Amino acid sequence: MKAAQTPHKKEVPCVFGRPPQLPITKIIRLSAALLARHRRCSTPTAALSLPPRVCSLRPESLSCRLSTIYSWHFTGKTKLCSVDAAMATTKPRLSSFSRNLSAVSSSQTPGVKCGPNGTMFVSSGIADLDKILGGGFPLGSLVMVMEDAEAPHHMLLLRNFMSQGLVHGQPLLYASPSKDPRGFLGTLPSPASLKHDKSRDRESEQEKGLRIAWQYKKYMGENQPNFDSHRDNKQDYCNEFDLRKPLERHYFTRQRVNCVGIQDSKNLAALQEHCASFLAQHQRNDGSCALAGRIAIQSLCAPQCEHSNMDWEMLSFIKSLKGMVRSSNAVVVITFPPSLLSLSSTKRWQHMADTLLSVAAIPDEDKELAKLLSGYQDMVGLLNVHKVARLNTQVPFILEATTFSIKLQKRRFLVLECLNQAPVDGSSGSSYGTSGSCSGSSKAGTLDF
């Protein structure tokens, strides 16, 4: 049997054998040994190449057993393909219809990164959210966040978004229904002073064996290799914010920060005028991006605002804003409580969004939920991704997961994680009905030949 030891750091380790001489169990054991050496595979997909004769023999059973080993490298499916096809699949693929992603150059403008299809991204201020959305918020897009009336998690998203813009020196327009919108700037978080060591990455490297195969996604590498290829750029692009440390005042006294109150206005005309003049300063010229701008509108349909019962006026405002931002180098983030709108209005607002997120509260001291989800004790809420902006393309962005838990690491740093089901019991491999061990059982398997 010939096995590819380490063909290339970024290539998938492939195993291909000659079935008449090699039993399947030995192939499985060899695969496990190889992958133990190449545990941190940088590509999300792996192809196990086997000659057709092997594939024809109970592929379901074989793939079940192999997927147990390959689980932290697979996207959920085991591909049984020919050797030639396996050697050809060396490049990461986002979806069946994705184009070949060539390496892209980072933009010269600080805080802005180039993305596919001629789009440019700004960071949301939350590194995990940037990864989930494929790089961040595209310039020229409208992001809407549906609030939960029982939890203030939309404020966390808004704070990080605003802080990231101020740290990069990007002009900011903030609108709020509160009496003193400028007072909100004092609650913005500051970038962490020390390099925050992501302990969850360290934990993922610990040897756990097959017991944590169900959490394989924690060990998967980047699905978007281009955006994280340069670590320095990533650190500049998205900072890690300490929610307990307020942003230094020089960030929002020196920069152009405009705060607008919307509670006392009779309608949205004044806010529309503010937005129009702000976006006019960030008109997009061909290919260039001098400086990106950010607009943050908190609780647009808050009940204390007089325009809160003017459904069509609010919709018209959003439509107008979307049209203006599309031709500008800016991003607009609007939060709103859907529970205060009619169902038809909510649907219309959701339809207007390029990127649609929602936050939700979780019950406190819920034993049932603690049994169902792992890491429940650290969760403060949930984030759902309903829609991801795709500008200049018809290719949809397929998310691997749509619901994420919002956690505060050390009560300071906001992280998003996929939901993972807590183990039902402590044993492993029992779900397949047979032992999942590949340690060389003397018992001859039914697949041996």
Partner 1 sequence: MADTICRTLRDGGLEGEHAPALTIKDSKASPFGFDVFNYVLTQLSNYILAGKSQSRGLVVVAYSRSPSFYVDLLKRRGIDIASSHDWIHILDCYTDPLGWKNWLIDKDISQEASSLSSFCQDVRNLDKLYSLIIEQGKGLIGQGKDRFSIAIDSVSEMVRHASISSVAGILSNLRSHDQVSSIFWLLHSDLHEIKFTSVLEYLSSMVASVEPFNQAAFGQRVDLENLSMLEQNFRKGKFHVRFKRRNGRVRVMCEEILVELAGIKFTPVLSEDEIINQRLLPKVSIIVLS
Per-residue interface string for the shown chain with partner 1, residues 249-268, x marking contact by CB under 8 A: --------------x-----
165 vs 381, beta carbon nearer partner 1: 381
Give the residue, chosen from 137, 337, 390, 438, that forms a contact with partner 1 under the rule CB under 8 A.
337
Task: Tell me the residue type at 247.
Answer: L
Residue 152 C-beta-side C-alpha neighbours within 13 Å: 3
Site for partner 1 (CB under 8 A): how many residues?
A: 51
**Closest to 108 in 3D by CA, of 229, 237, 231:** 237
| Using rule CB under 8 A, residue 132 touches partner 1 | no
| Using rule CB under 8 A, residue 365 touches partner 1 | yes
Q: Is-contact 72 211, C-beta < 8 A?
A: no
| Using rule CB under 8 A, residue 369 touches partner 1 | yes
228 vs 311, beta carbon nearer partner 1: 311
Q: What is the DSSP letter of 47?
A: E
8 vs 266, beta carbon nearer partner 1: 266
| Using rule CB under 8 A, residue 368 touches partner 1 | yes
| Using rule CB under 8 A, residue 158 touches partner 1 | no
Give the residue, chosen from 271, 380, 385, 388, that forms a contact with partner 1 under the rule CB under 8 A.
380
Tokens of 49: 């190449």
Task: Tell me the residue type at 217.
Answer: K
Give the residue, chosen from 85, 88, 372, 398, that forms a contact with partner 1 under the rule CB under 8 A.
372
The Cβ of residue 202 has, within 10 Å, a number of other Cβ atoms equal to 9
- Give the binding range for partner 1 (CB under 8 A) out of 16-24, 252-260, 316-324, 398-406: 398-406
Q: Is-contact 303 180, C-beta < 8 A?
A: no
- Give the binding range for partner 1 (CB under 8 A) out of 119-127, 159-167, 369-377, 389-397: 369-377
| Using rule CB under 8 A, residue 421 touches partner 1 | yes
Burial class (CB in 10 A: 0-12, 13-18, 19+), 159: buried
Give the residue, chosen from 73, 109, 122, 153, that forms a contact with partner 1 under the rule CB under 8 A.
153
Q: Provide the minimum distance between the beta carbon of 143 and partner 1 in the complex, in angstroms, as a whole number.
A: 20
Sign of the torsion angle spanned by Cα atoms 88, 93, 98, 103: negative
Distance, in Å, from the CA atom of 361 to the CA atom of 381, rounded to the nearest integer, reads 5
Task: Tell me the residue type at 108.
Answer: Q
| Using rule CB under 8 A, residue 239 touches partner 1 | no
Q: Is-contact 44 32, C-beta < 8 A?
A: no
Give the residue, chosen from 361, 370, 391, 395, that forms a contact with partner 1 under the rule CB under 8 A.
361
Give the residue, chosen from 32, 101, 340, 399, that forms a contact with partner 1 under the rule CB under 8 A.
340
Distance, in Å, from the CA atom of 251 to the CA atom of 169, rounded to the nearest integer, reads 8
Q: Provide the minimum distance between the beta carbon of 422 and partner 1 in the complex, in angstroms, as a whole number.
A: 10
74 vs 227, beta carbon nearer partner 1: 74
Chain centroid offset of residue 434 CA? 35
The Cβ of residue 443 has, within 10 Å, a number of other Cβ atoms equal to 8
Tell me the β-bridge partners of 121: 113, 138
Distance, in Å, from the CA atom of 30 to the CA atom of 52, rounded to the nearest integer, reads 19
| Using rule CB under 8 A, residue 68 touches partner 1 | yes
| Using rule CB under 8 A, residue 291 touches partner 1 | no
Q: Provide the minimum distance between the beta carbon of 7 and partner 1 in the complex, in angstroms, as a whole number.
A: 25
Give the residue, chosen from 2, 37, 77, 367, that forms a contact with partner 1 under the rule CB under 8 A.
77
Pairing of strands 137-138, 413-418: unpaired
71 vs 119, beta carbon nearer partner 1: 71
308 vs 355, beta carbon nearer partner 1: 308
Q: Provide the minimum distance between the beta carbon of 350 and partner 1 in the complex, in angstroms, as a whole number.
A: 18
| Residue 114 CB contacts under 8 Å (≥ 6 apart), including other chains | 104, 105, 106, 107, 120, 121
281 vs 420, beta carbon nearer partner 1: 420
| Using rule CB under 8 A, residue 329 touches partner 1 | no
Give the residue, chosen from 95, 403, 427, 446, that forms a contact with partner 1 under the rule CB under 8 A.
403
Residue at token pair 């230094």: 248
Q: What is the DSSP letter of 35?
A: H
Q: Any idea what the Cα angle at residue 310 is, between residues 138 and 384, rounded to 5°?
A: 40
- Give the binding range for partner 1 (CB under 8 A) out of 90-98, 136-144, 281-289, 304-312: 304-312
Four-point Cα dihedral 90, 94, 97, 103, nearest 10: -70
Distance, in Å, from the CA atom of 119 to the CA atom of 158, rounded to the nearest integer, reads 22
| Using rule CB under 8 A, residue 323 touches partner 1 | no
- Name the site residues for partner 1 (rule: CB under 8 A): 60, 63-64, 67-68, 71, 74, 76-78, 149-153, 177-179, 213, 263, 302-306, 308-309, 337, 339-340, 342, 360-366, 368-369, 372-373, 380-382, 401-403, 406, 419, 421
